[in-house]
């Protein structure tokens, strides 16, 4: 695995197979030996790994900018390498960012998110109904992937029967290492093109209840939002909605399969599930980190960062910091307090955090209720080969004692 010589770090690459296999030990070495380290990977960038430093940088948007373009340089933004499609408004900085955040906030508020809970539960039960009589299913392919994807399509106002067309390529581009993305990038851009076509159609003839129709009829500072900006905002919702919850749900259900005492504890005490899911969010940190661009000289732990330097804020490493979390390498179901960074920190904190919590807790709760004895086939399970963006699984087969359907409803697009 990677070794570190003081702060002469040239081999770190969060997209590498080495990092996918050894991320916890690599993060621990960085926190101990070089909390602000530099790597030559992907054009060169800094990585910040200690909790307090990550939080401070995330809150300091004047020095650590999120913009897709900073000081006239682009593409930059919040991923390393940059996303092929700008993700606004998360890749904007104040003051331009603020009107867009204010526009979106009401749709993702705790109350608005809670109102969607019956729909999320319905999607979960429909997905489980497709497999409940079989005695086998794939945690990712049959549940953790379709539920967030179906919900996100419904939330946006995209045709739910087309969910696979969007979800499959979104997952693939997330877990494919950047240097191998040529083929999947072509298909990803084709999917983006289809979404753009729907946006154009909705602007000409609005009337759907989804977020897309809200955006094409909304105004910022008295002006309509351009189709390109709407596309970027929709792409951000899809990127956040399709894969992050999928990843943490798969990891949580694998953990519970491997720890029968923890599983029994949640089955016997379902009121604990939300608190346990907060710990799963911390321990399995689905989105490993986000990038920033330095706007002015700054020194952190004697590291001298200069304007236009790229910086990775490691949410995952911050969540493993033993100066903040007691026994961070253990899952403690009733951990409290749990000040994890999984949903980000500062003005760009994840808009969809309330919805993500509802999806995660509902999937865990319904699996434990409807297939409580499920067992994971570890030999057939496949992890993401790259976890540089999302710490997830390609597939996770499992078996259980068959049960009964709750309805005859089929999965859209079947």
Q: How confident is the model at residue 129 (pLDDT cuts 50, 70, 90)?
A: very high
**Lowest mean per-residue pLDDT among 46-55, 163-172, 222-231:** 163-172
Residue 95: CB atoms within 10 A of its CB come to: 7
Phi, psi dihedrals of residue 147, rounded to the nearest 5° = -60, -55
Q: How confident is the model at residue 4 (pLDDT cuts 50, 70, 90)?
A: very low
Q: Give the separation between CA 252 and CA 95, rounded to whole angstroms.
A: 38
Residue 311 is given by DSSP the state E
pLDDT in tens, 157-176: 999 999 999 999 988 988 88
> Is a pLDDT exceeding 90 seen at residue 311?
yes
Q: How confident is the model at residue 9 (pLDDT cuts 50, 70, 90)?
A: low
83: left (phi over 0), alpha (psi -120 to 50) or beta: beta
Phi, psi dihedrals of residue 382, rounded to the nearest 5° = -125, 120
Calculate mean pLDDT across residues 15-27. 95
Please report the pLDDT score of residue 320 as a whole number: 99
pTM of the full predicted structure?
0.96
Please report the pLDDT score of residue 145 as a whole number: 97
Given a contact cutoff of 8 angstroms between Cβ atoms, the answer to whether 267 and 372 are in contact is yes
Across all residues in the chain, what is the average pLDDT? 95
Calculate mean pLDDT across residues 2-28. 80
Please report the pLDDT score of residue 7 as a whole number: 62
> Is a pLDDT exceeding 70 seen at residue 242?
yes
pLDDT in tens, 335-352: 999 999 999 999 999 999
Please report the pLDDT score of residue 8 as a whole number: 54
**Lowest mean per-residue pLDDT among 25-29, 141-145, 171-175, 382-386:** 171-175
pLDDT in tens, 22-35: 999 999 999 999 99
Q: Which burial class, exposed, middle or buried, applies to 248 when counting CB atoms under 10 A from its CB (0-12, 13-18, 19+)?
A: buried
Please report the pLDDT score of residue 387 as a whole number: 94
Q: How confident is the model at residue 121 (pLDDT cuts 50, 70, 90)?
A: very high
Name which of 209, 215, 219 is nearest 234 in CA terms. 215
Helix (H) or strand (E) holding 393: strand 393-395
CA distances to 118, 181, 195, 209, 228 from 156, rounded to whole Å, are 17, 26, 11, 8, 16
pLDDT in tens, 245-258: 999 999 999 999 99
Calculate mean pLDDT across residues 6-15. 74
Q: Which residues contact 142 (CB under 8 A, 6 or more apart)?
A: 127, 130, 131
Domains of the chain plus CATH, in order, are: 17-399 (1.10.630.10)
The C-alpha R_g of the chain, in whole angstroms, comes to 21
Q: Give the separation between CA 103 and CA 366, rounded to whole angstroms.
A: 33
pLDDT in tens, 69-90: 888 888 889 999 998 778 999 9
């Amino acid at each position: 695995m990677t070794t570190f010589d003081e702060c002469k770090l040239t081999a770190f690459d969060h997209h590498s197979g080495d990092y996918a296999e050894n991320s916890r030990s690599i993060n621990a070495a960085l926190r101990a030996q070089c909390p602000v380290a530099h790597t030559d990977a992907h054009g060169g960038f800094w990585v910040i790994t200690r909790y307090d430093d990550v939080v401070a940088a995330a809150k300091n948007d004047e020095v650590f900018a999120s913009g897709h373009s900073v000081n006239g340089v682009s593409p930059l933004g919040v991923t390393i390498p940059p996303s092929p499609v700008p993700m606004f408004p998360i890749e904007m900085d104040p003051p331009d960012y603020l009107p867009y955040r204010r526009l979106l906030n009401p749709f993702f508020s705790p109350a608005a998110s809670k109102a969607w809970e019956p729909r999320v539960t319905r999607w979960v039960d429909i997905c489980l109904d497709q497999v409940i009589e079989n005695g086998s299913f794939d945690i990712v392919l049959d549940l953790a992937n379709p539920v967030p994807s179906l919900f996100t399509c419904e939330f946006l106002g995209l045709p739910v029967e087309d969910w696979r067309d969007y979800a499959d390529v979104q997952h693939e581009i997330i877990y494919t290492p950047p240097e191998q993305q040529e083929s999947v990038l072509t298909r990803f851009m084709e999917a983006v093109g289809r979404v753009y076509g729907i946006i154009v159609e909705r602007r000409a003839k609005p009337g759907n209840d989804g977020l897309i129709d809200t955006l094409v009829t909304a105004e910022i500072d008295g002006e309509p939002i351009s189709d390109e900006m709407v596309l970027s905002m929709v792409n951000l919702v899809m990127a956040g909605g399709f894969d992050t919850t999928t990843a943490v749900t798969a990891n949580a259900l694998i953990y519970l399969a491997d720890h029968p005492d923890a599983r029994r504890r949640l089955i016997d005490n379902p009121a604990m599930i939300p608190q346990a899911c907060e710990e799963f969010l911390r321990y399995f940190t689905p989105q490993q980190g986000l990038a920033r661009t330095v706007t002015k000289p700054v020194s952190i732990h004697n590291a001298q960062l200069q304007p236009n330097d790229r910086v990775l804020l490691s949410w995952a490493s911050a969540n493993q910091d033993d100066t903040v979390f007691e026994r961070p390498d253990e899952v403690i179901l009733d951990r409290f307090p749990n000040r994890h960074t999984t949903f980000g920190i500062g003005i760009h904190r994840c808009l969809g955090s309330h919805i993500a919590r509802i999806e995660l807790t509902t999937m865990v709760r319904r699996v434990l209720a409807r297939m409580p004895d499920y067992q994971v086939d570890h030999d057939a399970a496949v992890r993401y080969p790259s976890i540089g963006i999302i710490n997830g699984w390609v597939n996770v087969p499992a078996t259980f004692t068959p049960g009964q359907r709750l309805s005859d409803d089929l999965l859209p697009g079947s």
